[in-house]
Structure 1
Amino acid sequence: MDTKLTVGKLRCNYLYNPLGVETPNPRLSWALLSQERGQRQTAYRVLVASEKELLNKDIGDMWDSGIVETDQSIHVVYKGRELKSRQRCYWKVKVWDMDGKPSAWSEIAYWEMGLLNQSDWYGQWIAAPHTGNMEPSPAPLFRRVVSLEKKVASARAYVCGLGYYELYINGRKIGDDVLKPAFTRYDETVLYNTYDVTDAFRPGENVIGVILGNGWYNCFTKEVWNFEQAPWRDKPKLMLQVIVQYDDGSESVITTDRQWRVSTGPIVFDGLRNGEFYDARLEKQGWNDVGYDDSEWENAVIVPGPGGVLKSQQMTPIRITDTIVPKSVKEVKPGVFVYDLGQNISGWAQIKVSGPAGTTVTMKYAEKLKDDGDIDTSNIDVFVKSGEFQTDKYTLKGEGIEVWEPRFTYHGFQYVQVTGFPGRPTLDNLRGRVVHTDFEAQGEFKCSNELLNSIQHAARWATLSNYMGIPTDCPHREKNGWTGDAQLSAEQVLMNFDPMTAYTKWMSDFQDVQRKTGQLPGIVPTGGWGYNWGSGPAWDSAIIFIPWYMYLYCGDEAILEKMYDNMKKYVDFMTTMATDDILEFGLGDWCPPTGGPEGHKCPVAVTSTAYYYVDTHILSKVASILGKKEDAERYAQLARRIRDAFRKKFFDPDTGQVLSNSQTSLSCALYQGLVNEDEKQKVLALLVEQVEKANRHIDCGILGAKYIMHTLTELGRADLAYDIATQTTFPGWGYWIAQGATTLWETWSGDASRNHHMFSDISAWFYKGLAGINPDPEVPGFKNIIFKPNPVGDLQWVKAWHESMYGKITCNWAVEGNNFNMHVIIPPNSTGTVYIPTSDPESVMENGEPVSKQVGIQVKGYQDGRVVLLLQSGEYHFSSRL
């Protein structure tokens, strides 16, 4: 066994060892590890077994794929025995290299099925008695004593607590996730979580405890999106099922029913959009453990469920990911203290305090300060119409040092105003708790320009702050799943993080809210708001672009199949809205530098019709990928018709002018493929003219901000894109950094939210346009990687990596005088197409030798000032003369 290949990173449906899997045929992926050149898989064998011991004997009683001759190592579909509810499946894989030599078997991984049928749920939905849903009530505590007389072999808890919940067994909190389950349209889909609770139980008496919060389910706060009128809205409720298997093979099922005991506790108020109030004097010590007297508690009542189908939450959870020590605390008025975290975040504050019982400490959160140093919420408190805004209150019990943080709300902030504190608080009395969907870092970009590094930092923080089970617009003012923001930022999210399970879940939300006509709302999920304002092709295109990007960046055909009918319905809806193949509805190039959010120079009809064209064009390609030939041809014809209509109405091929001749309209026509090859230079010349007129500043809203950087780069003017990116005067990303921004802002002027991700595609440009790491649309999922770096301006070096489904891709380059040096790593089972900038093709070397003499390199030619090379996997060091 001489092969250098080893197999690792075994994932099932993108997840490592997931519980609660519900797909009938899960998809298995692995990565190959090797630094040697030219390493790739030629065959695999997967074994899946019901017992780990069987795998140790190389027996796959569930599935033995046999030796399959293919280089496929991602999204391999399980084709074994039918999977049943709660079934645990162990699996391992070995591969063969190009010489036909097998690797060792991988480590053993597993997945476990969830509750596949609604009939697998034996419990009833329960709630606290005497609570209406119109006014907020204290958070209910639920308690159940269970006796386990045998030795527990395994135990699983399946839980859905609406809106949010915390689960305890014998006083111990189960799981490190928070704000669960993820938000859905509850009358269509309700998510449950699965936990391995084997170690939480002990012989004899045990106690299961649950606290419920209101969350999105009982959003009672009055605001402009009308969630208080959502059709699902009701008081908090619980469905829980614990299945215990004993050593002797028997099992017992613990479910929610009338026997559960209910009371209230110290959380006297929790509103997702308001905050949380906690009175520590009302704590019931030991309520979730054995030995507690619950004789004065009431019995739970049986209530109707929320209406949606219970489905397993198969996505990266929300967690507390970091704790920030404040930079400073200042007394801005007598008794009013303001903490500065130094970073705009999503989450909450944790407070440490001691003082007399009954003392109430109030924390209010903001991302701006007034001139006097106090907090300023005027830019974010405008849409919430009832209750306090971003306010937490803690009332002391008066017993030594007390540490508290909220459970069922979150805020967007950099500053915390503290009032009512007994004494004078120090930096030690408060911590910032960073909370968001716990994405794994899948990429990093750094360069010699610190301004760009600061913009990258801000883009990452804005992204993380705005993923709370759904991609939100901002973590404070709205918390809504605005579709346009998410589709515009999706490429950078896929380069920086691993949002695939989160995107898959969000696409299910689209299926739940899409009308029969195909129409979509501007926010997803929605309680009914946003179908007739806030939507439009640029926003709604998330239903097409995000599945397409998942295919492009992760090779995921399953998401295309899952969403195909919905994509089709949406394109057909646009067709009903079109007049002579032109569309004029939607928000357009939202938030340009001047004139307010809607003051864009580019007409809505230009950008909306362009999206109509691209959506239809992508749909045709998806139909072709899925083998739907008739649809592919039909939508290809429609796309050609829309393109012709766009060109006829908005474009003058003789002059290169596009209606309004703005930066956005010109770059839109180029970026969206509406300009023929021989016309591009004319349009580019006009675009360059517009950028020069603006003193090399951007003059676009959120749509144009995506188009312009990639368009200039693609057409050979990366230098101009770089100049735009590095401006520190208004308007521009650098202007925000110059004002002290640590996240991206909603408007170029900074007069609205200061934690938005809708302008974040510049981070994708850093990876693609500067570092040069690009997916290949012809060979998706980074099966082939296009490396096209752009040494521009005063950039001396760039270092970037991205963890693809196949492994880690690296592209580092540096300029030293007239020399260009480039370091590339291509993971096994992938290839690369490299474009090396040079004025002298003969100067291109790899490890000091001419490229034509090196193993694993094929020279394809010289074009547009670059030598083009085809590379096998492995590590390469190139040099050239610029």
Structure 2
Amino acid sequence: PARWEMGFTDKSQWRARWIARTTALGPQPAPMLRKPFAVRGALTRARLYACGLGYGEFALNGATLGDALLEPGYTRFDRRALYVAHDVTAALKQGDNVLGAQLGTGWYDVHTLAVWFFEKAPWRSAPKMLCELHLDYADGRHEVVLSDATWTTTTGPIVYDSIYGGETYDARLERAGWNAPGYDAREWQPAIAVDGPPGLLSWEGCPPIRVHDTLKAKSIREVQPGVHLVDLGQNCAGHARITVSGAKPGTTITLRYGERLNERGLLETAKTGEHMTRTDPPQRFQTDQYLCKGGASETWEARFSYHGGCYVEVSGWPGALTPDMIVLRAHATDSPRTGRFSCSDALVNRIYESTIWSYRANAQSIPTDCPHREKNGWTGDAHLACEFGLATFDSAAFYEKWLDDLHDEQRDDGMLPGIVPSSGWGYEWGNGPAWDSAYPLICWYLYRTTGDAWALTRHYDRLKRYVDFMGTRAVDGVIPWGLGDWLFWKAETPVEVTSTGYWHVDALIVAEAAKLLGKSDDERRYRDLAATIRATFRERFVRADGGVANDSQCALSCALHQGLIDGAKPATVAKVVAAIDATNGHIDAGILGAKYLFNALHDAGRDDVAMRMLTRTEQPGWGWWLGQGATTLWEDWKGESSLNHIMFGDVSAWMVKALAGIDQSPESRGYTAIVIDPQPVGGCSWAKAELPTPRGVIISSWTQGADGAFTLDVTIPPGEPALVYLPERGAITESGKPVAQAEGVAAATDATTRAQRRALRVGSGSYRFVCR
């Protein structure tokens, strides 16, 4: 039978009190709290609703609840905190039970000093918790176990934890059985009732963070006496799990994480730690410590911090360190992997897999820039990778959660900070439309991908406010403010070009949202605004010969991708190609241009040029990164900054769209109008991809035979017929029959003409087309 169950929808429904061990800020041992209670009678249902800030780990009768990490998700805590729900029916027993909680500082009490001033965050407070355990009995009784001052509290083995600094665990301070019945807690102190955060308390609808891979050491070598370097062979985000035996009590094992080695082969963390060390050089960064209790085998992993890197430096290990003693637990927001791509070009496959690893490393309840140096929700990085994320993971809930964070951070005048959540830093920093457009763009990408307008309409008033705010920053119809084509190679693009281009797109998105809501006056207003921006852009930057501004790769492709070119489009495309030819096929742009270029070239039918640019192995380019040993995407073309950033990752969305050929028409929402148009370019002999959609999974798999035959296997889910483009050859068959006789296939006489391509309308089902 169908069932519907809900948790709390409003703070007024909670009966529990927020409780804590102390109100003192700064480095403190992690609090432990416990509550004994009794179950008297047969239960039909038991639910725990709980929020632990910054992080909360809950247990019943000695067993940790669930496998989520770093829970609940990171938010602007003074405006919204998240609670989690657990079905604990099977974890309870008749008679005595104990509910336990352990709390970490997380982002709630950041005591590491850095340039973003999280130590001054308006929400900063000592760790605290709130919970209600609801018990439904078979005889109709209902009981609730609440967090209140009857709980008791103490400290334990986690003597230090910091989201940036790491964790210290002293196993000699463990309290065996503390969260199970029978434990003597007479020395524990009563918990104190405290005020909770003032904002909303909402259910955590976003999937939690979970381990997705356990990495074994690729190599371990002693680089100095007593210092071992563990090479994992893969850059990622996570924490180590160690197993040590026969150690003396108090033996201190130190784990430092990083992604670079210095000239002597030792771990180097100056780059990733620069924003901490220049604030306060002695500060601890990306470091875990374990103090052994001694004797038998001990296994440990950190609970309330995570790190980025591909190396772990281990100091103080008692004896030889072997691969069975240490692994890296890589984790990310648990958005299931749903999309797939591969092709005959090994370099392209490695770029795609590197994008996967960068995306996961930077999906940690918010979309982050990097998993080590900052861990911040940079808005530009987020929207540039969003289309890849939606094509590869079931990530809609992840982005919907972060849109709430954007909502909570927006000022009344419409201004947004460059990082979300923010301590208050980043509003006047100069991010501008190329970053702030994350708000309307991610709403739009969700609508385009899923067909669900919920985010676009729910945030409508805030999106209007943002577009209107940008108007206050315009000078003579263009926006001369904000970050531009960040980390370009040599050719700098005027910021007026990129900022104004995004403002144009943002106005169109708001107009579309107004149309969905039936707000005709608003729709007309924002379409008129977009038209005015477009006309001004063309007057200021577009020349009669198709040139744009300084004719950089970014400027030209920006105008094409943002819909700012009219009749001169072929000339502008030619200039893009010429600009790429002038750099010997290399990209000469930053993160904005990287997204514009591949999309603009695809729309223009020049995926051959895009493929050439992608597969260059000299600097600059993705291929050069991999040639230097990269296993994730880097922050800049020189490799001088972070080695795990996602902001250049949209190229892997292009692979699915262009090489495998899975797309939808411009008017389509939720893939109601599927387009299959594979591009066998760059010497590729095959490519295949799977793309999940609301209609079902689309599959495109093609091969180019040595005899010249092109074979396309395609699966179209139920719904409207798809538009399939095939190479124009003398004979085309489907499952061995001439295409004119194939069931479910018809000529697409109304389709947009594409050079040397034949268009077919194909119904749902699986097909094999062969073109000879």
Which band: TM-score by shorter chain?
Answer: over 0.9
Deviation at 1:779, TM superposition (A): 2.5
Match of 1:851 among 725, 728, 739: 739
Deviation at 1:849, TM superposition (A): 2.1
Does 1:641 pair with 2:544? Answer: no
**Partners of 2:165 and 2:285 within 8 A in 1:** yes
Q: Distance in 1 between matches of 2:228 and 2:129?
A: 39
Deviation at 1:776, TM superposition (A): 2.7
**Partners of 1:806 and 1:830 within 8 A in 2:** no
Aligned to 2:453: 557
Q: Distance in 2 between matches of 1:339 and 1:117?
A: 48
SS at match of 1:323: strand
The residue identity in structure 2 corresponding to 1:846 is E
The residue identity in structure 2 corresponding to 1:789 is P
Aligned to 1:116: 9
Q: Distance in 1 between matches of 2:142 and 2:573?
A: 70
Aligned to 2:409: 513
Deviation track 1:390-427 (CA, whole Å, cap 9, x = no partner) reads 00000000021111000000000100000011112111
Aligned to 2:233: 342
Q: Distance in 2 between matches of 1:348 and 1:616?
A: 43
Q: Distance in 2 between matches of 1:776 and 1:257?
A: 56
Deviation at 1:372, TM superposition (A): 2.0
Deviation track 1:518-561 (CA, whole Å, cap 9, x = no partner) reads 11001111111110115210111111111111111110111111
Deviation at 1:575, TM superposition (A): 0.9
SS at match of 1:432: strand
Match of 2:275 among 383, 387, 396: 383
Aligned to 1:698: 587
The 5-angstrom pairing of residues 482-501 of structure 1 reads 482-501=378-397
Measured at CA, do residues 543 and 833 of structure 1 come closer, stay the same or move farther in structure 2, by a change above 3 Å?
A: same
Does 1:361 pair with 2:253? Answer: yes
Which is further off, 207-216 or 578-587?
578-587
Aligned to 1:682: 571
Aligned to 1:606: 497
Q: Distance in 1 between matches of 2:720 and 2:111?
A: 52
Match of 1:214 among 81, 84, 105: 105
The residue identity in structure 1 corresponding to 2:11 is Q
Aligned to 2:118: 227
The 5-angstrom pairing of residues 100-499 of structure 1 reads 110-129=3-22, 131-133=23-25, 135-354=26-245, 355-384=247-276, 385-386=279-280, 387-499=283-395
Q: Distance in 2 between matches of 1:311 and 1:693?
A: 54
Q: Distance in 1 between matches of 2:400 and 2:606?
A: 36
Q: Distance in 2 between matches of 1:863 and 1:608?
A: 32
The residue identity in structure 2 corresponding to 1:367 is E
**Partners of 2:10 and 2:202 within 8 A in 1:** no
The residue identity in structure 1 corresponding to 2:357 is W
Deviation at 1:117, TM superposition (A): 2.7
Deviation at 1:631, TM superposition (A): 1.0
Which is further off, 531-540 or 483-492?
531-540
The 5-angstrom pairing of residues 786-797 of structure 1 reads 786-797=675-686
Deviation track 1:49-98 (CA, whole Å, cap 9, x = no partner) reads xxx3xxxxxxxxxxxxxxxxxxxxxxxxxxxxxxxxxxxxx2xxxxxxxx
Deviation track 1:291-317 (CA, whole Å, cap 9, x = no partner) reads 111100000001111112110001111
The residue identity in structure 2 corresponding to 1:266 is P
Q: Distance in 1 between matches of 2:487 and 2:346?
A: 26
The residue identity in structure 1 corresponding to 2:699 is T
The 5-angstrom pairing of residues 688-727 of structure 1 reads 688-727=577-616
**Partners of 1:829 and 1:873 within 8 A in 2:** yes
**Partners of 2:696 and 2:718 within 8 A in 1:** yes
**Partners of 1:213 and 1:270 within 8 A in 2:** yes
SS at match of 1:512: helix
Q: Distance in 2 between matches of 1:111 and 1:457?
A: 39
Deviation at 1:830, TM superposition (A): 4.5
Q: Distance in 2 between matches of 1:424 and 1:685?
A: 62
SS at match of 1:657: coil
Which is further off, 727-736 or 366-375?
366-375
Seq. identity, %: 46
Measured at CA, do residues 534 and 441 of structure 1 come closer, stay the same or move farther in structure 2, by a change above 3 Å?
A: farther
Deviation track 1:181-224 (CA, whole Å, cap 9, x = no partner) reads 00010111010001100011111111000000000000111000
Deviation at 1:138, TM superposition (A): 0.1
Aligned to 1:880: 771
Deviation track 1:326-373 (CA, whole Å, cap 9, x = no partner) reads 111000111110001111110000111121001000000001112222
**Partners of 1:326 and 1:339 within 8 A in 2:** yes
Q: Distance in 2 between matches of 1:531 and 1:117?
A: 30
Match of 1:665 among 514, 530, 555: 555
Deviation at 1:788, TM superposition (A): 1.3
Q: Distance in 2 between matches of 1:305 and 1:877?
A: 61
Match of 1:785 among 674, 689, 700: 674
**Partners of 1:710 and 1:769 within 8 A in 2:** no
TM normalised by structure 2 equals: 0.98
Q: Distance in 1 between matches of 2:637 and 2:389?
A: 21
Aligned to 2:709: 819
**Partners of 2:413 and 2:465 within 8 A in 1:** yes
Deviation at 1:111, TM superposition (A): 4.3
**Partners of 2:617 and 2:627 within 8 A in 1:** yes
Q: What CA RMSD, in Å, does the superposition of the two structures yield over aligned residues?
A: 1.1
Q: Distance in 1 between matches of 2:556 and 2:107?
A: 41
Deviation at 1:835, TM superposition (A): 1.3
Deviation at 1:820, TM superposition (A): 1.2
Q: Distance in 1 between matches of 2:430 and 2:675?
A: 36
**Partners of 2:457 and 2:516 within 8 A in 1:** no
**Partners of 1:582 and 1:605 within 8 A in 2:** yes
Deviation at 1:263, TM superposition (A): 0.3
Structure 1 regions of 5+ residues with no counterpart? 1-51, 53-89, 91-109, 595-599
Aligned to 2:546: 656
Q: Distance in 2 between matches of 1:615 and 1:465?
A: 29
Q: Distance in 2 between matches of 1:830 and 1:496?
A: 23
Q: Distance in 2 between matches of 1:610 and 1:439?
A: 31
The residue identity in structure 1 corresponding to 2:724 is V
SS at match of 2:425: coil
Aligned to 1:828: 718
The residue identity in structure 1 corresponding to 2:482 is G
**Partners of 2:723 and 2:748 within 8 A in 1:** no
The residue identity in structure 1 corresponding to 2:227 is V
The residue identity in structure 1 corresponding to 2:726 is I
The residue identity in structure 2 corresponding to 1:115 is F
Q: Distance in 2 between matches of 1:349 and 1:830?
A: 49
**Partners of 2:10 and 2:201 within 8 A in 1:** no
SS at match of 1:868: strand
Aligned to 1:74: none
Q: Distance in 1 between matches of 2:733 and 2:514?
A: 43
Q: Distance in 1 between matches of 2:214 and 2:721?
A: 40
TM normalised by structure 1 equals: 0.85
Match of 1:751 among 627, 640, 652: 640
Measured at CA, do residues 830 and 417 of structure 1 come closer, stay the same or move farther in structure 2, by a change above 3 Å?
A: farther
Q: Distance in 2 between matches of 1:186 and 1:324?
A: 33
SS at match of 1:658: coil
